[in-house]
Chain A
Amino acid sequence: MSAPAPSMFTPAAKAMAQKLGLTMGRANLEEFADTLMELAEADPDIVAVTSDSRGSGKLAPFGKELPKQIVEVGIAEQNLVGIAAGLAACGKKPFAVSPGCFLTARSLEQIKNDICYSDVPAALVGISSGVSYGALGTTHHSLHDLAVLRAINNLTITVPADNFETREAIRAAALATRPVFVRFGKAAMYGLHRPDTQFEIGKAITVHEGTDIAIIATGETVIHALLAAGELESQGISCRVLSVHTIKPLDAEAILRTGRECGAIITVEEHLVHGGLGEACASTLLQGGEAKPFRIVGIPDEETVTGAQADIFRHYGISMEGLTSTALDLLQRA
């Protein structure tokens, strides 16, 4: 008998979500799979390319429905990306789908040369990214992907936070004429956005207003930032929350505005503290002349603690409680 997966949210965090009017959606992975199928039904040039990953990518229905639009390459990620590059160079719109840990390490040279340097319109989809595979260990974690991919020219990097951002990121990837990387996890996500929210690649979305402090977050950590903003508000502290769904090109304008208007800044990401959103924001703020009290929250540079995704998040303070306490600590120093 397997133990139930630990919840990502304490009872207090769930109560805060309810207070903020948030409703639980489904996994971004499922949103991705349905969106891709809808797009592929309308565009026969869209091809899913999988490396024995159609099950983990929730693409079995896609394979059944559109068998001519899926290419299986077996467990061979270098070939996965090389084949996707060849398809893209010949007029196809490939979506290479593989766990983020393998896609962005095993096939990094193919991403760099065959996709980005050759400049072909392929989409790379890192599924079960970050620490989604939790207790499976470092082999299955992708905590390096934003750092290495940010250092490669000609790649749009998107990290959607909820079902809405995922759908929009996949739609944008299908329309893109240049290389795109999208990464997300497999846990169910709260919806963060009002129905009238606009999504634009390279434009961060403000999900909560405030000026005492700001939390700049990306991907599946944004919900924790939003819950922390709710908690801080109940303690009389106003907290702005940005969802930075596009890591590259980074919305420097929104980040600098946040630096100007807010008293302190926390960044949070499901990634190593090196080379990801946090250091990108630090660079933007410092070079833009905005030096506010600043803290990067992510996975530290150590052997990652064993546990489910929720355990790892809680352990490193990626939770309503953890971020609230980091904010209070940072404001005392401000």
Chain B
Amino acid sequence: MTNAELELKAIQLRKRLLKVIVDAGAGHTGGGLSCLDILNVLYNRVLRVSPETVADPHRDRYVQSKGHCVEALYTVLSDRGYFPEADLETVCHYQSHYVGHPTRQIPGIEMNTGALGHGLPICVGMALASKMDDAPYRVFTMLGDGELAEGSNWEAGLAASHYQLDNLIAILDYNTLQITGHTRDVMSTEPVAEKWRAFGWNVREVNGHDYAELTAAMADPAVPGQPTFIIAHTIKGKGVSFMENVARWHHGVPSEREFEQAIAELEHREVAS
């Protein structure tokens, strides 16, 4: 798929994501929209995974540490054919398998996440297992910026470089907002690139909505002997003008009118592209 084709798909995925959140009556709209392009590139270009190989021991592993943005993940997995699109209508509904955070009950999801600061340690274990078995698979995780305040990330950061896990790629969805407001006001993480570099990681910085940059950073990240930390600069609420960079949309659910307005905006762009 060309960049233009992926960008068109991203508009369709954003429309579907908003529908999932409205149908569920709950969800993480702002973060879902900010990480959607990253997921789109991961699942359509980077990860060596498919619905046919969910049990292949050599498949790449993706663990979504910022589990609250599960609606974006569900949307992308469904688009990739892991499960029928109709299933998305049941997210968060009574007795649905589609919980409001990732679970392994869903084809293609590797671990149950949702409590923050858990993905990176798990991925260190997975990357170690890959090394122990001399296996070809790589391990990816996506973290939120607010999540970096969890100390367990830094424990895992030490271990990943100690064990020279060059098969481990962490992507930071750096939208600079968290539930309370600006990350810099809640708990500063800057200088985040220098911190991970000092921890022994290969650090890359990209525009998290630029398909060429995302692809280049994620598809060929490896510096031998170093884990990779990709800082993806993103916009919370990306793609819907009135949601962009507004902390209220962290877990705001659009009203009917807001939903229609958002869809109209996205459709306008879909037609234009």
CB distance from A89 to the nearest CB of B (A): 6
Contact of A82 among B61, B152, B162 (CB under 8 A): B152
Contacting B at CB under 8 A, from A39-69, are: 47, 68
* Complex Cα spacing A82 to B132, Å: 17
B contact patch SS: helix
| Inter-chain contact A110/B121, CB cutoff 8 Å | yes
* Complex Cα spacing A221 to B237, Å: 58
Interface residues as binary, B113-139 with A (CB distance below 8 Å gives 1, 0 otherwise)? 111011011111111111011000001
Is A324 in the interface zone, CB < 8 Å from B? no
Q: Of A68, A114, A119, which is in contact with the most chain B CB atoms at under 10 Å from its CB?
A: A114
Contact of B159 among A83, A84, A94, A117 (CB under 8 A): A83
Is A73 in the interface zone, CB < 8 Å from B? yes
* Complex Cα spacing A84 to B129, Å: 10
* Complex Cα spacing A76 to B16, Å: 41
| Inter-chain contact B125/A89, CB cutoff 8 Å | yes
Given contacts A87-B126, A91-B129, A110-B118, contact A78 B111 (CB under 8 A): no
Is B112 in the interface zone, CB < 8 Å from A? yes
| Inter-chain contact B133/A91, CB cutoff 8 Å | yes
| Inter-chain contact A92/B156, CB cutoff 8 Å | no
Q: Of B57, B61, B113, B152, which is in contact with the most chain A CB atoms at under 10 Å from its CB?
A: B152
Contacting B at CB under 8 A, from A252-282, are: none
The chain B residue with its CB closest to the CB of A113 is: B115
| Inter-chain contact B132/A114, CB cutoff 8 Å | no
| Inter-chain contact A85/B114, CB cutoff 8 Å | no
| Inter-chain contact B113/A90, CB cutoff 8 Å | no
Chain B residues near A89 (CB, 8 Å)? Answer: 61, 110-111, 122, 125-126, 129
| Inter-chain contact A71/B152, CB cutoff 8 Å | no
| Inter-chain contact B112/A86, CB cutoff 8 Å | no
How many residues in A have their beta carbons less than 8 Å from beta carbons of B? Answer: 28
Contact of B155 among A76, A86, A114, A119 (CB under 8 A): A76
| Inter-chain contact B159/A86, CB cutoff 8 Å | no
Contact of A79 among B113, B132, B155 (CB under 8 A): B155
Chain B residues near A74 (CB, 8 Å)? Answer: 155, 158-159, 162
The chain A residue with its CB closest to the CB of B121 is: A82
Contact of B125 among A76, A84, A113 (CB under 8 A): A84
Residues of B within 8 A of A (CB): 57, 61, 103-104, 110-115, 117-118, 120-130, 132-133, 139, 151-152, 155-156, 158-159, 162
